[in-house]
Structure 1
Amino acid sequence: MILFCRAAFWIAVYLALVLVPLFALLIGPRPAGSGFWWDLSLALGFAGTTMMAVMFFLTARFQRATAPFGIDLVYYFHRWISLGAALFVVLHPVLFVVQDSYALHMFHPAVMGWELWSGVGSALALAAIMVTSLWRKPLRIHYDAWRVWHALLAVIALALALVHIAGIGYYSGEPWKKGLWLVIGLSCVAVVVYVRLIKPTAMLKRPWRVTEVIEERGSTWTLVLRPEHHAGFLFLPGQFAWLTLERSPFAMKEHPFSIASSAENPLELRFTIKELGDFTRRIGQIKRGTKAWIDGPYGTFSIDRMQAPGYVFVAGGVGIAPIMSMLRTLDERGDKRPLQLFYAYHTWERLTFREELEELRGRLDLDIVYVLNDPPSDWEGETGYLTEDIFARHLCAGRSQLECFICGPTPMIEVAEKSLAHQGVPRGQIHSELFDLV
């Protein structure tokens, strides 16, 4: 109930930040020549601008605000609500032209004033954000370069939108209304200063050091890190953090990874990382002694937040990492509750943590169901992809009381969520880690 109240509070805060400025602009005299479509167009422009401004707060990783939801869900919300803001910005000038085709001549480059140029520039910057974010991988834009340009374009889009509003002056010409937009702009500047200057400065005082680089099965590596001259931090099993290696925390080179180690030992963090993308492709080349910086912990994907008489885990590929954190923690605590793991992978030979999982099965009350897409010739277990039939054959009894945790590729997550629900697990007890944030 407390978690629900906190979530409701932050949702109300978001709606207030987006809508209150919009309604505040209606106070006072209405400008001449306004009508329904004119006012609707202006409202969409104002709403799109305030939504852009709130994006700065959504991605600032304020732990108190993200805790009720999980920062992965906050980032997904940011992704989709950005499309809404972009739609509002596009409809803003379109409605002008629809209700008065003569207004189209105002957008001719020969007659456009600086206030319209700033609006067009803001829309183009926002369009660039949408294109490079939604199609970053097909366009082969390096993740680190994308992050820098994403931040710069966001600042440009908002700044030009505020200039556009101030220049047009409709519903915003009065001094206090201009002051309102100024406060909105300065608040976003304050967030940028906090995220890019204040927070990295604090991280400089809490460095970490890579003490081991362990090669795992399946082109996967585990980095073992220990705090340097500080006590580390407490985290919940299954949470994740942003990791910066070799660069300073000011460099915008951090990457999110699940913590794979036991939460019972805050003086050692393990990140198990598969060679997949721009940064991870060379993860095995990291040297012992490399300095690191960690921003975390984040996430709600944890057994410690969901007490139950037993747990079901579903992992695909490197999605085993946060689940290993939970299993290792349960092992160190001597937990005797029944556990079940469905682990989907391509081959037996490359299955990450194969040996350790067998050891954990001997110490925990752990049942493991392996599902191999390309099994060896003598394999007698489940084959192919994870399906509802596999859950129907193996899912343990008392499923309506169990909490289920799923991490892996998005198609596997979707299948697992539907299958578990069909097998009698309440939807509210199915938790997924959405680790593909961008």
Structure 2
Amino acid sequence: MFWIGVYLALIVIPLGVLLLGERPRGGGFWWDFALVTGYAGLAMMGVQFALTARFKRATAPFGIDIIYYFHRYLASIAFMFLVGHAALLYLKYPEVVGRIDPRHAPAYMTLGWLGLIAFAAIMLTSLWRKRLRIEYDNWRRIHVVLAVVGIVVAVLHVEGAGSYLESPLKRALWTLLAVSWLALVVHVRLVRPALLRRHPWRVAEVRRERGRSWTLALEPTDGHVPAYHPGQFAWVTLRASPFAMREHPFSFSSSPTRPGRVEFTIKELGDFTARIGQIQPGETAYVDGPYGSFGIDRQPQAPGLVFVAGGVGIAPIMSMLRALADRGDRRPLWLFYGNRAWDRIVFREELEQLAGKLDLTLVHVLGEPPEGWTGERGYITREVLARHLPADPSALHAFICGPDPMIRLAERGLRELGLPLRHLHSEIFDLA
């Protein structure tokens, strides 16, 4: 509630300041409403930079994956405000808006249209990135450039229009807001990469796993591994400078109980991960982390734990299982692990070993089981969960990681079996 209050304050207070002192008169309700949608949309777009700045203290209560989803949905709302602002003025006050043609329109009005176009391009390339087949690293660069351009020209539009900014105090406030938004960009794209570059890592091992997956082991050149919790993740940069914006989020598959190195288990899926097996020991890497609130250490009093994984979604869960084994944890555990085929199960042999060290019920669920398979098949449904969990699992906590359809199916099944919503913890892979 505190952080939601902070967000609302960052949006509402700048709007409230506009109402102080003398205000323009005679515009009417729709005029004022059109202006407030513009200011609100611009304020929301500016705060978007803060949401993606990876401030650990602010993201810790929710998990940074949830913050990124929040960022995505709020961007859509902010864009609708900006579209509403332009549409209302154009339809109800065409004499004020004037001609769209930049050869005849005032400069500040042209800047306003350019800002709207930049934000529209952000929405188009973000929501339809995969349909447009925009490679992830290129999309990130486009996203940042369009966001900065959109904010700059929108602020210049506001300064030029001057509505509700008659006093030097109001104008100074909105100028300061714009500077603070751009300062966040400088912090994320220049200051943080500079700090990362001072602490490089070395690739210690690249190990092939089943299911077209690889485990990448990294060691810090200064010998210092940042403290992390099992289940968290980090942004990793390989074969590039931290300034190149070619970082990718991966979950730790290693356990903090085994110091000296960290490991990430990565599946060959996208443009970058398809080449992960080509990385060689000795190469330089950069690690920005840890991040995330997904993990068992936030639920130390849970009487038992349920894990549901799909494919390489086993990576953060493997981190947790390794930590539980090293700590000698004797709580009852259940792992439901969905894969297409038996020979694609990542960590198959080690999971069998962990089942012997822990009080772990290991349930493999296969989509294409081999001949003679007597285990579970298909999807991880309510019926599959019910066959292996206690009759009353409501006190258990569940950790779910994998493709979105699997997460939704598992969450629904566990809730139907009696687990409260607050006992369900899911890690969302697809941040963009």
Q: TM-score range by the shorter chain?
A: over 0.9
The answer to whether residue 12 in structure 2 is matched with residue 19 in structure 1 is: yes
1:367 deviation in Å? 0.2
> 2:260, 2:26 → 1: CA distance?
66
Partner of 1:136: 129
Partner of 1:392: 386
The answer to whether residue 312 in structure 2 is matched with residue 318 in structure 1 is: yes
1:101 deviation in Å? 5.3
Secondary structure (helix, strand or coil) at the match of 1:138 reads: helix
| 1:359–1:151 CA distance, 2 compared to 1 (3 A) | same
Instruction: Please show how residues 254-269 of structure 1 align to structure 2 within 5 Å.
Output: 254-269=247-262
Partner of 2:198: 205
The answer to whether residue 185 in structure 2 is matched with residue 192 in structure 1 is: yes
Secondary structure (helix, strand or coil) at the match of 1:314 reads: strand
1:111 deviation in Å? 3.0
The answer to whether residue 396 in structure 2 is matched with residue 415 in structure 1 is: no
The answer to whether residue 356 in structure 2 is matched with residue 362 in structure 1 is: yes
Instruction: Please show how residues 327-338 of structure 1 align to structure 2 within 5 Å.
Output: 327-338=321-332
1:112 deviation in Å? 1.3
Cα contact 1:206–1:230 (8 A) shared by 2? no
> 1:434, 1:59 → 2: CA distance?
16
> 2:106, 2:183 → 1: CA distance?
30
Partner of 2:282: 289
1:251 deviation in Å? 1.2
Partner of 1:244: 237
Question: 214, 224, 231: which one pairs with 1:221?
Answer: 214
1:393 deviation in Å? 1.6
Cα contact 2:97–2:109 (8 A) shared by 1? no
1:392 deviation in Å? 1.9
Secondary structure (helix, strand or coil) at the match of 1:250 reads: helix
Question: 400, 405, 416: which one pairs with 1:406?
Answer: 400
> 1:83, 1:360 → 2: CA distance?
45
Name whichever of 205-214 and 119-128 sits farther off: 205-214
Question: 29, 35, 56: which one pairs with 1:63?
Answer: 56
Pairs aligned (count): 431
> 2:223, 2:387 → 1: CA distance?
49
Secondary structure (helix, strand or coil) at the match of 2:343 reads: coil
Cα contact 1:239–1:322 (8 A) shared by 2? yes
* 1:375-434 Cα deviation digits (max 9, x unpaired): 001100111122111112222344111110000000110011111000011111001001
Partner of 2:146: 153
Question: 317, 326, 346: which one pairs with 2:340?
Answer: 346
| 1:21–1:104 CA distance, 2 compared to 1 (3 A) | closer
Secondary structure (helix, strand or coil) at the match of 2:43 reads: helix
The letter for the 1-side match of 2:175 is L
* 1:284-339 Cα deviation digits (max 9, x unpaired): 11001111110000001010001211100000111000000000000111111110
Cα contact 2:15–2:36 (8 A) shared by 1? yes
Question: 33, 45, 49: which one pairs with 2:26?
Answer: 33
> 2:263, 2:90 → 1: CA distance?
57
* 1:238-297 Cα deviation digits (max 9, x unpaired): 000000012121111100000000121342111000000010010011001111110000
Partner of 1:96: 89
1:190 deviation in Å? 1.6
| 1:105–1:186 CA distance, 2 compared to 1 (3 A) | closer
The letter for the 1-side match of 2:362 is I
> 1:267, 1:152 → 2: CA distance?
38
The letter for the 1-side match of 2:364 is Y
| 1:168–1:102 CA distance, 2 compared to 1 (3 A) | closer
Secondary structure (helix, strand or coil) at the match of 2:9 reads: helix
The letter for the 2-side match of 1:341 is L
1:194 deviation in Å? 1.3
The letter for the 1-side match of 2:286 is W
Secondary structure (helix, strand or coil) at the match of 1:242 reads: strand
1:31 deviation in Å? 1.2
* 1:59-82 Cα deviation digits (max 9, x unpaired): 000111111111000000000100
Cα contact 1:52–1:158 (8 A) shared by 2? yes
* 1:14-57 Cα deviation digits (max 9, x unpaired): 11111110111111222133111100100000001000110111
Partner of 1:4: none
> 1:191, 1:138 → 2: CA distance?
30
Cα contact 1:235–1:266 (8 A) shared by 2? no
Secondary structure (helix, strand or coil) at the match of 1:349 reads: helix
| 1:232–1:121 CA distance, 2 compared to 1 (3 A) | same
The letter for the 1-side match of 2:15 is L
> 1:99, 1:71 → 2: CA distance?
41
Query: What is the CA RMSD across the aligned residues, in angstroms?
Result: 1.2
| 1:97–1:196 CA distance, 2 compared to 1 (3 A) | closer
1:189 deviation in Å? 2.1
Secondary structure (helix, strand or coil) at the match of 1:261 reads: coil
Cα contact 2:223–2:260 (8 A) shared by 1? no
> 1:390, 1:411 → 2: CA distance?
16
Partner of 2:169: 176
The letter for the 2-side match of 1:366 is L
1:100 deviation in Å? 3.8
The letter for the 1-side match of 2:313 is G
Query: Normalising by the residue count of structure 1, what TM-score does the alignment of the two structures yield?
Result: 0.96
Instruction: Please show how residues 79-90 of structure 1 align to structure 2 within 5 Å.
Output: 79-90=72-83
Cα contact 1:25–1:172 (8 A) shared by 2? yes
Instruction: Please show how residues 375-386 of structure 1 align to structure 2 within 5 Å.
Output: 375-386=369-380
> 1:107, 1:43 → 2: CA distance?
22
- Unpaired segments ≥5 residues, structure 2: none
